[in-house]
Amino acid sequence: MATTNWQNAKQLEKLAPRSHRATQRLVMAAADLKKNRGKTGLFGANKGVRSEMEFHDKLRELIYSVREDARSGIFEGDDLYNNVCSFIGAFCKVYPNWGDAYQELHNQLLANPAYGRDLIDRLK
């Protein structure tokens, strides 16, 4: 089982603190989305819809954070989609423990790049 490299984690957090915190929240929201998709609560509330709304809120937070951290010059280029995906990719390498959440992020953003770009454009 892969474990976290804490030295690299500290470097990533120091490099882009806003994006790091936002990605932590996004990963947890992606895990909830994967877990709750298609489920309903005790009184009929749709847990999947609520989880998807939370995922979109956290993705929006990451988009804003990447924009802020990009001002310090840590990202190459101005393509927001590529910057968001590259930061998520770096986060995945540093924290390999969230396999289900990373699979959901892949399905939402990378499996269909046109949909991922559209989603980020709608949320920015």
Whether residue 87 lies inside any domain: the answer is yes
Domain of 99, in residue numbers: 6-123
Whether residue 36 lies inside any domain: the answer is yes
Q: Distance between alpha carbon 28 and the CA centroid of its chain, in Å?
A: 9
Rounded Cα distance, 66 and 90, in Å: 13
Instruction: Return the percentage of the chain with pLDDT > 90, whole number.
Output: 63
Whether residue 105 lies inside any domain: the answer is yes
Whether residue 86 lies inside any domain: the answer is yes
Tell me the pLDDT tens digit for each residue of 40-94.
777 777 788 898 999 999 999 999 999 988 888 777 777 899 999 999 999 999 9
Whether residue 24 lies inside any domain: the answer is yes
Tell me the pLDDT tens digit for each residue of 46-58.
788 898 999 999 9
Residue 98 reports pLDDT greater than 70: yes
Whether residue 1 lies inside any domain: the answer is no
Domain count within the chain: 1
